[in-house]
């Protein structure tokens, strides 16, 4: 093991550990070292292979491992506004670099036939170091399943793990061994387009989903040919971009960074993530791609990360745009020294590192450590032994994959509202419905069903809403009448008459409205969150016809649905459901499956409320917060509120209806008091057990996501009015009850104090158990000094 790596291992303190002054609360007990989170990456056998290979490499071969290009290389005149700067105006021949052993990885080149020639070229180079083929596989490779925000709405980590494993199986048959997923950025601003790629606004749920992705992609053995290396992105706090605008800056306290934005990244590292991707944004004035606090102090020293960091697309070059580097050499020096090992598409590392070494601005030890980290992942992944696309194994089938994708879509749908003006449920549709009118620009568009970053190259295996409902109506002897009505972003009302005619013929109208796939995702920030184009006008005219309306909302983010909530009988968020969209929607709308999804981002009344999230902090003048234990203000005017909109969400975090109802009772804590010395240990688990009874009070079977929320009062820093600290999916027959149990320990009860130490203090805790962040059944306990 190298001296550099040995020293790095010795420097790693426990992430949770801290030592406070005797006058303050007792901190979590420290340990002298951290067990590496991915044993394969830290294995002495792999390290020996890495060092032996490194000793044989030329400088050009070393630098080659630190660069990534697309199959056709990079060029500043290739039409990409963010291609390399004029000072490096050269076209890169990726194949030629592979032949010379001066290319480490290739971007978004997929398919067994297309990856093989590049791999063959690399293996014929002097040292025969294989390439890594990395690709944006965000929600499926061949079988496209729901977008990540939709998957988070399932609150089903095992399902997320199964889906990501399925994607790995398909990707490795296409030669891909490295996926740029999961995105674990916390997003509390629906204007941010990349909300579609994450798990929403909450760090506890986000951490659970992050772990599931890593386990699914990487399995228990990275070297297994069916597994891939994950790249967790975007490190860090990219989801907090100001005003929800893509690539924008972020600025926050260290407490907020550690309490809210870092936990999902850390969970992914602890689950064994092999690689990380740096973010485009600056954090507190320091661009993430040149931020040693993030990538050295936290990621490596505190968390013990053994893998490598890749920049986002041209992010190293963009350091000059941020204004912290005057030229390519300075950008390269700052990024590499901060901890970015692989330069994606900037064409900076290969052109600048040799000169930086020559003039002493970079040390060979820094370069060697970067190369060592890349080789470590390649050896752990087994690409030296299995460099090519793998053959399919027995039992792998497209039909099984589609069945899993359909299950995911069904679980992801969130029933937001289901009551007409008399309070009667409209869904599920039953046998008396003989004619259904399907209206809307998203009713029969296969390509839109995949959503952003879908990656589908054909749509023959996609089932649109129209196809799904037609098959269902035909099977029951009914009729489906279809009218597009309008286009997604159109101002023309030419199709309105046809839509109204279709509605007049129907018993029920199903409207498929929302965003186009490209309106969410990267570079898709929206200042206005209503239905695009004239879809709102179409909706209002159809509702005015008097027919019951079921609104299916397609989007990659929360939308403003205030008018619909007041006037539409049933509303269901279906996100972008993937290849099985139509089949899944038909099964849920007709009641074969009851909806069980719950929101992971709050839906606003108006975009003026953004950023909007449930776990807000209290104020000295709260407006209607019954949990503050404060008396009402003497004058309700001078409280923290809007004068033209509510404070709360239209549909809050955790909200989601079923075709039955659920009741809660008997919330109980196992202990009234917990000694501080017992609670304030990093390894403390099961300090308090919370139990509650959930009952299916309706007439149909259903699945409820039972949620546990916690509030901490009396701490040295203000704490959120509520924070999620547990959840369970519980299936119940009509009339059935089950007792659910949650364990609270140091991870759930601790917080980050003003010294950036994670601690438990002698405070009072309230716990709620219920079906959303507005749960009312509660209990309490105390941490005693």
Task: For residue range 257-307, list pLDDT tens digits in order.
Answer: 999 999 999 999 999 999 999 999 999 999 999 999 999 999 999 999 999
Check pLDDT > 60 for residue 82. no
Mean predicted confidence (pLDDT) in 532-538: 98
pLDDT, one tens digit per residue, over 722-735 is: 999 999 999 999 99
Q: What confidence category does residue 17 fall into, taking pLDDT thresholds of 50, 70 and 90?
A: very low
Q: Which of 173, 214, 707 is nearest to 397 (CA)?
A: 173
Query: Is pLDDT at 35 greater than 60 in this prediction?
Result: no
- Provide the pLDDT for residue 37: 61
Position 25 pLDDT exceeds 50? no
Looking at residues 550-564, what average pLDDT do you find? 98
Per-position DSSP letters for 572-596, written without gaps between them: EE-----TTHHHHHHHHHTTSS---
Q: What are phi and psi of 687, to 5 degrees?
A: -70, -40
Instruction: Say which range, 69-73, 484-488, 590-594, has the weakest mean pLDDT.
Output: 69-73
Give mean pLDDT, residues 192-206. 98
Q: What is the pLDDT of residue 74?
A: 60
Ramachandran region of residue 409, left (φ > 0), alpha (ψ -120 to 50) or beta?
A: alpha
Question: What is the DSSP code string of 133-177?
Answer: EEE--SS-SSS----HHHHHTTT-HHHHHHHHHHHHHHHHHTT--
Residue 53 CA to residue 375 CA, distance in Å, equals: 9
Contact between 280 and 318 under an 8 Å Cβ cutoff? The reply is yes
Q: What is the pLDDT of residue 741?
A: 98
pLDDT tens digit sequence for 662-708: 999 999 999 999 999 999 999 999 999 999 999 999 999 999 999 99
Percent of the chain with pLDDT over 70: 91
**Per-residue confidence at 374, pLDDT binned at 50, 70, 90?**
very high
| 0.85 exceeded by pTM | yes
Distance separating alpha carbons of residues 130 and 459, to the nearest angstrom: 33
Distance CA 566, CA 551 (A): 12
pLDDT digits (tens, 9 = 90+) for 765-783: 999 999 999 999 999 999 9
Q: In what order do the strands lie in the sheet with 275-278?
A: 308-310, 275-278, 229-235, 178-179, 132-135, 105-107, 67-70, 343-344
**What's the confidence (pLDDT) of residue 21?**
30
Q: How far apart are CA 766 and CA 709, in angstroms?
A: 8
Neighbouring residues of 228: CB distance < 8 A, sequence distance ≥ 6: 168, 171, 172, 176, 177, 178, 179, 217, 218, 381
Q: Domains plus CATH for the chain?
A: 39-381 (3.20.20.300), 405-589 (3.40.50.1700), 660-784 (2.60.40.10)
pLDDT for res 310 = 98
Token pair listed for 50: 């890495």
Long-range contacts from 638-647, C-beta under 8 angstroms, 24+ separation: 642/608, 642/609, 644/608, 645/605, 645/606, 645/608, 645/609, 646/605, 647/609, 647/623
Give the β-pairing of 286-287 and 282-283: antiparallel
Q: Do the strands 737-744 and 570-573 form a parallel or antiparallel pair, or are they unpaired?
A: unpaired
d(CA 132, CA 141): 17
SS3 506: coil
- Beta-bridged to residue 479, according to DSSP, are 435
pLDDT band at 38 (very low <50, low <70, confident <90, very high): confident
Q: Are 414 and 772 in contact (CB under 8 A)?
A: no
Mean pLDDT of 511-537: 97
What pLDDT is attached to residue 455?
77
Q: Tell whether omega for the bond before 648 is within 30 degrees of 0, i.e. cis.
A: no
pLDDT digits (tens, 9 = 90+) for 301-330: 999 999 999 999 999 999 999 999 999 999
Judged by average pLDDT, the poorest of 52-61, 615-624, 689-698 is 615-624
Is pLDDT at 129 greater than 90 in this prediction? yes
In percent, the amount of the chain with pLDDT more than 90 equals 87
Average pLDDT, the chain: 92
Q: How many angstroms from the chain centroid is the CA of residue 318?
A: 24
585 touches 552 (CB < 8 A):
yes
- 97 backbone dihedrals φ, ψ, rounded to 5°: -65, -40
pLDDT at 5 over 50: no
For 634-673, the three-class secondary structure string (H helix, E strand, C coil) is CCCCCCCCCCCCCCCCCECCCCCECCCCEEEEEEEECCCE
User: Does pLDDT of 489 surpass 60?
Assistant: yes
- Strand partners of residue 758: 752
Task: Compute CA 216 distance to the chain's CA centroid, rounded to the nearest angstrom.
Answer: 14
Q: Tell me which DSSP letter residue 301 carries.
A: I
Residue 13, pLDDT score: 33
The pairing of beta strand 479-483 with beta strand 308-310: unpaired
Active centre residues (catalytic)? 312
Give residue 432's pLDDT band: very low, low, confident or very high (50, 70, 90): confident
Report the chain's terminal Cα–Cα distance, integer Å: 46
Instruction: Answer whether residue 90 shows pLDDT above 70.
Output: no
């Amino acid at each position: 093991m190298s001296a550099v790596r040995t020293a790095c291992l010795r420097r790693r303190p426990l992430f949770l550990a801290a030592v406070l002054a005797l006058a303050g609360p007792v901190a979590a007990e420290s340990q002298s070292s951290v067990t590496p989170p991915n044993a394969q990456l830290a294995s002495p056998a792999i390290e020996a292979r890495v060092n032996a290979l490194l000793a044989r490499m030329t400088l050009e071969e070393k630098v080659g491992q630190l660069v990534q290009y697309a199959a056709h290389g990079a060029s500043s005149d290739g039409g990409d506004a963010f291609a390399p700067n004029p000072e490096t105006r050269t076209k890169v021949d990726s194949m030629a670099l592979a032949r010379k052993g001066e290319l480490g990885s290739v971007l978004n080149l997929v398919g067994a036939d297309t990856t093989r020639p590049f791999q063959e070229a690399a293996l014929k180079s002097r040292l025969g170091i294989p390439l890594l083929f990395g690709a944006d596989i965000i929600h499926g490779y061949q079988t496209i399943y729901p977008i990540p925000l939709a998957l988070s709405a399932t609150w089903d980590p095992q399902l997320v793990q199964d889906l990501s494993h399925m994607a790995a199986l398909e990707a490795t048959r296409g030669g891909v061994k490295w996926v740029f997923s999961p995105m674990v950025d916390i997003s509390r601003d629906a204007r941010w387009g990349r909300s579609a790629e994450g798990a929403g606004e909450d760090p506890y749920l986000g951490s659970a989903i992050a772990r599931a992705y890593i386990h699914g992609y990487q399995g228990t053995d990275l070297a297994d040919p069916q597994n891939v290396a994950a790249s967790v992105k975007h490190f860090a706090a990219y989801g907090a971009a100001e005003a929800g605008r893509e690539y924008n800056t972020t600025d926050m306290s260290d407490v907020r960074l550690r309490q809210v934005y870092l936990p999902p990244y850390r969970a992914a590292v602890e689950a064994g993530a092999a690689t990380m991707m740096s973010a485009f944004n600056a954090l507190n004035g320091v661009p993430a791609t040149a931020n040693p606090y993030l990538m050295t102090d936290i990621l490596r020293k505190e968390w013990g990360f053994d893998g490598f960091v890749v920049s986002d697309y041209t992010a190293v070059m963009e350091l000059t745009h941020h204004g912290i580097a005057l030229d390519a050499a300075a950008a390269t020096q700052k990024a590499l020294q901060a901890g970015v090992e692989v330069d994606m598409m900037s064409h900076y590392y290969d052109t600048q590192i040799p000169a930086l070494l020559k003039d002493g601005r970079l040390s060979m030890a820094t370069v060697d450590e970067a190369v060592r980290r890349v080789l470590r992942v390649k050896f752990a992944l087994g690409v030296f032994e299995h460099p090519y696309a793998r053959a399919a194994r027995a039992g792998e089938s497209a039909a099984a994959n589609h069945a899993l994708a359909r299950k995911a879509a069904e679980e992801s749908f969130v029933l937001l509202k289901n009551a007409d003006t008399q309070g009667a449920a409209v869904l599920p549709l039953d046998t008396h419905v003989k004619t259904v009118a399907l209206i809307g620009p998203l009713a029969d568009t296969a390509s839109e069903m995949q959503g952003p970053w879908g990656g589908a190259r054909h749509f023959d295996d996609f089932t649109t809403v129209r196809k799904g409902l037609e098959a269902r109506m035909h099977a029951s002897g009914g009729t489906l009448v279809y009218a597009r009505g309008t286009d997604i972003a159109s101002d023309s009302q030419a199709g309105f008459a046809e839509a109204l005619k279709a509605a007049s013929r129907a018993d029920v109208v199903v409207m498929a409205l929302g965003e186009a796939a490209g309106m969410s995702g990267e570079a898709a920030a929206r200042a206005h969150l209503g239905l695009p184009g004239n879809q709102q006008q179409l909706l209002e005219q159809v509702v005015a016809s008097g027919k019951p309306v079921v609104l299916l909302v397609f989007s990659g983010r929360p939308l403003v649905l205030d008018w619909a909530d007041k006037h539409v009988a049933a509303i269901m968020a279906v996100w972008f459901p993937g290849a099985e969209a139509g089949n899944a929607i038909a099964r849920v709308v007709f009641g074969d499956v009851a909806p069980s999804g719950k929101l992971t981002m709050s839906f606003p009344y108006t975009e003026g409320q953004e950023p909007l999230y449930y776990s807000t902090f209290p104020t000295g003048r709260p407006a209607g917060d019954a949990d503050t234990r404060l008396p009402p203000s003497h004058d309700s005017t001078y409280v923290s509120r809007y004068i033209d909109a509510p404070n709360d969400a239209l549909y809050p975090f955790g909200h989601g209806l079923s075709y039955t109802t659920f009741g809660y009772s008997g919330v109980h804590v196992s202990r009234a008091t917990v000694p501080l010395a017992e609670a304030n240990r990093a390894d403390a688990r099961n300090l308090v057990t919370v139990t509650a009874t959930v009952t299916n009070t309706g007439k149909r079977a259903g699945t409820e996501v039972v949620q546990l929320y916690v509030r901490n009062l009396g701490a040295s820093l203000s704490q959120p009015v509520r924070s999620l600290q547990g959840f369970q999916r519980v299936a119940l027959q009509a009339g059935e009850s089950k007792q659910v149990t949650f364990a609270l320990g140091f991870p759930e009860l601790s917080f980050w104090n003003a010294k950036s130490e994670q601690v438990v203090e002698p405070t009072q805790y309230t716990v709620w158990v219920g079906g959303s962040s507005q749960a009312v059944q509660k209990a309490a306990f105390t941490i005693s000094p």
